[in-house]
């Protein structure tokens, strides 16, 4: 009995429930990845996917069954491959994006109608969204009680080990060549920063998790907000692509706390961040409109301006606010952004520039290697004030103060905005305040070598609060 294992955002062999089920059946296993044209990927995600598939392909081949690559509509390709190979079962791990849920529901019925055994498993969440409810039976809307309830489910099931062997079909299966998919950038090749920053794949994910828990987790509560320090786990992309499972990360962290009590506070803070990832997925599952519309309907009437010149300045890191510009340039070069920086640049876009949060979310999804739909959309709505358990819209970050607090020596700005590198720490986060001689010594020509601020902070803050008041006033008028 041959089983097709359809890999999706679970590009790993260990703790892979679908793969474990296929191996337990005892027959040949066909590992498969489908590049679905109906699911477009941003440039950074395409780069990551290429290298992650390269890693997975090598791992599958080493165990005896090569990874099959096909591009096209999943329903057609799965039926075709089953017909070619005589497979009687198709298994995969569930995803929780609204469009994927709808597609998979139809797909299961279509496969069953053809006599195929189609099964799916939870391979990406600690707890199924349908299983975590309030005392009144409703989905959680606030993180703190969600976190307490989720933590009460621990200890979770132990991660499964990787199989020792994959039994292959006696006859080779036709596969696309990975290079044929042209996932990597050419002419120009803009991925040098990604190559210097990342190593995709299951083995690299395990190493990163181990290094974080061995070295960095004890200082995580203090250092995780520092943009100038390597104090975060840097696991977001590995979790997004499923190169490490959430159960593996959770259990490894718990074992670290047991072995090293001094790391317990850091482990707790890290697990809390894993829970935020879980919370976002649950929100998207229960409120599918979260991906495209304001979770709080009132914010659909917010008076956005969408100034194109300002949006371009934001994307290119040319706003005149050093910490914002450093973060946006780091994103473009490396495909990632520090969590504190994400909050700062998002607040700047939706509050200083009054540009719709959806435009920022779209940009992130094109440039992030960890472009997770639930995390990204929930995060943007949190900053914009329109999401569940969101930061109030009237909480407007001052980018100068944020830079001074979380990049106190200006190291992060100097790395990514080198034209300001010669400025004294007193002025590095507000170069417009530097006296002429300091600018001359640093080789800075305001408006030429580095832009003037695109908007004044005090003016922008007042304008944002006025926009919020206008939205509320219109609602009262309509009622």
What is the per-residue pLDDT across 109-127, written as a single tens digit (0 to 9) for each? Answer: 999 999 999 999 999 999 9
Is residue 445 classed exposed, middle or buried when 0-12, 13-18 and 19+ CB atoms within 10 A define those classes? exposed
Per-residue model confidence (pLDDT) at position 361: 98
Superfamily of domain 3-123: HUPs (3.40.50.620)
pLDDT digits (tens, 9 = 90+) for 127-164: 999 999 999 999 999 999 999 999 999 899 899 999 99
Res. 87: pLDDT tops 60: yes
| Beta-carbon count within 10 A of 273 CB | 16
Superfamily of domain 297-478: DNA Cyclobutane Dipyrimidine Photolyase, subunit A, domain 3 (1.10.579.10)
Tokens describing residue 404: 């001074």
Same fold, 3-123 and 297-478: no
Instruction: Look at the block and give the residue holding tokens 């600690």.
Output: 126
Ramachandran region, residue 178 (left: φ > 0; alpha: ψ -120 to 50; beta: rest): alpha
| Of 66-75, 155-164, 166-175, 467-476, the least confident | 467-476
Instruction: Tell me which residue of 291, 298, 246 sits closest to 270, measured CA to CA.
Output: 246
Res. 338: pLDDT tops 90: yes
Quote the CA–CA distance of 229 and 221 in Å, as a whole number. 13
Res. 437: pLDDT tops 90: yes
Instruction: Look at the block and give the residue holding tokens 């390709």.
Output: 77
Averaged pLDDT, 76-96: 97
Contacts of residue 25, defined as CB under 8 A and 6 or more positions apart, other chains included, come to 1, 3, 89
**Is 428 within 8 Å of 420 (Cβ atoms)?**
yes
Per-residue model confidence (pLDDT) at position 478: 44
Per-residue model confidence (pLDDT) at position 187: 87
| DSSP helix/strand/coil, 277 | helix
**Is 412 within 8 Å of 314 (Cβ atoms)?**
no
Quote the CA–CA distance of 19 and 13 in Å, as a whole number. 7
Per-residue model confidence (pLDDT) at position 475: 64
Quote the CA–CA distance of 49 and 431 in Å, as a whole number. 40
**Is 295 within 8 Å of 387 (Cβ atoms)?**
yes
Instruction: Tell me which residue of 260, 158, 250 sits closest to 214, measured CA to CA.
Output: 260
User: Cis ω on the peptide bond leading into residue 188 (within 30° of 0)?
Assistant: yes
Quote the CA–CA distance of 337 and 341 in Å, as a whole number. 6
Could you give the angle at the alpha carbon of 95 between the alpha carbons of 91 and 208, nearest 5°?
100
**Is 331 within 8 Å of 368 (Cβ atoms)?**
yes
Tell me, which fold does domain 125-156+202-286 have in CATH?
Answer: 1.25.40
Quote the CA–CA distance of 67 and 82 in Å, as a whole number. 15
**Is 367 within 8 Å of 335 (Cβ atoms)?**
yes
Tokens describing residue 351: 């509050």
Tokens describing residue 441: 């010594």
Res. 68: pLDDT tops 70: yes
pLDDT digits (tens, 9 = 90+) for 253-287: 999 999 999 999 999 999 999 999 999 999 999 99
Quote the CA–CA distance of 75 and 225 in Å, as a whole number. 44
* R_g of the chain computed on alpha carbons: 24
The DSSP letter of residue 479 is -
Q: What is the mean pLDDT of the chain?
A: 96
Instruction: Tell me which residue of 275, 249, 191 sits closest to 12, measured CA to CA.
Output: 249
Res. 91: pLDDT tops 90: yes
Tokens describing residue 363: 């940009």
**Is 367 within 8 Å of 332 (Cβ atoms)?**
yes
Global pTM exceeds 0.85 = yes
Instruction: Tell me which residue of 163, 151, 173, 178 sits closest to 49, measured CA to CA.
Output: 178
Tell me the percentage of the chain whose pLDDT exceeds 90: 95
Greatest extent of the chain over all pairs of C-alpha atoms, in Å = 79
Distances (CA, A) of 458 to 53, 352, 465: 48, 9, 11
Residues facing 29 on adjacent strands: 3
Residue spans per domain, the chain = 3-123, 125-156+202-286, 297-478
User: Cis ω on the peptide bond leading into residue 155 (within 30° of 0)?
Assistant: yes
The DSSP letter of residue 351 is I
Averaged pLDDT, 209-228: 95
Residues facing 7 on adjacent strands: 33
Ramachandran region, residue 306 (left: φ > 0; alpha: ψ -120 to 50; beta: rest): left
Per-residue model confidence (pLDDT) at position 393: 86
């Amino acid at each position: 009995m041959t089983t097709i294992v359809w890999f999706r955002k679970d590009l790993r062999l260990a703790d892979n429930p679908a793969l474990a089920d296929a191996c337990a059946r005892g027959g040949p296993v066909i590992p498969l990845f489908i590049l679905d044209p109906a699911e477009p990927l941003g440039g950074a995600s395409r780069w990551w996917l290429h290298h992650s598939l390269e890693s997975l392909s090598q791992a599958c081949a080493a165990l005896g069954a090569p990874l099959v690559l096909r591009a096209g509509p999943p329903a057609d390709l799965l039926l075709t491959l089953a017909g070619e190979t005589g497979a009687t079962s198709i298994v995969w791990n569930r995803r929780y994006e609204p469009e994927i849920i709808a597609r998979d529901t139809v797909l299961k019925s279509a496969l069953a109608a053809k006599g195929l055994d189609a099964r799916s498993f939870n391979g990406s969440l600690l707890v199924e969204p349908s299983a975590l409810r309030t005392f009144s039976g409703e989905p959680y809307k606030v993180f703190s009680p969600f976190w307490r309830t989720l933590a009460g489910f621990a200890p979770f099931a132990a991660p499964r080990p990787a199989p020792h062997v994959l039994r292959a079909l006696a006859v080779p299966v036709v596969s696309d060549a990975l290079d044929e998919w042209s996932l990597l950038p050419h002419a120009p090749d803009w991925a040098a920063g990604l190559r210097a920053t990342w190593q995709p794949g299951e083995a690299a994910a395990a190493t990163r998790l181990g290094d974080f828990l061995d070295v960095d987790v004890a200082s995580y509560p203090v250092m995780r907000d520092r943009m100038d320090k390597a104090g975060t786990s840097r696991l977001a992309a590995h979790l997004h692509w499923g190169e490490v499972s959430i159960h593996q990360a959770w259990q490894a962290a718990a074992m670290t706390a047991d072995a090293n009590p001094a790391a317990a506070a850091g482990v707790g803070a890290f697990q809390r961040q894993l829970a935020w990832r879980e919370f976002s997925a649950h929100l998207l599952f229960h409120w599918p409109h979260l991906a495209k519309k304001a979770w709080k309907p009132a914010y659909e009437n917010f008076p956005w301006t969408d100034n194109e010149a300002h949006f371009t300045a934001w994307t290119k890191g040319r706003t005149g606010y050093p910490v914002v510009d450093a973060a946006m340039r780091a994103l473009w070069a490396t495909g990632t952004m520090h969590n504190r920086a994400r909050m700062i640049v998002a607040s700047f876009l939706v509050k200083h520039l009054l540009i719709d949060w959806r435009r920022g979310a779209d940009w992130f999804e094109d440039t992030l290697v960890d472009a997770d739909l639930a995390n990204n959309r929930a995060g943007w709505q949190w900053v914009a004030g329109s999401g569940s358990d969101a930061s109030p819209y009237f909480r407007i970050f001052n980018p100068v103060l944020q830079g001074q607090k979380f990049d106190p020596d200006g190291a992060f700005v100097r790395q990514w905005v080198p034209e300001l590198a010669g400025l004294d720490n007193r002025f590095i986060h507000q170069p417009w305040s530097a006296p002429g001689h300091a600018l001359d010594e640093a080789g800075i020509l305001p408006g030429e070598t580095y832009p003037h601020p695109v908007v004044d902070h005090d003016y922008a803050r007042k304008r944002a609060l006025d926009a919020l008041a206008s939205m509320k006033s219109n609602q009262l008028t309509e009622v």
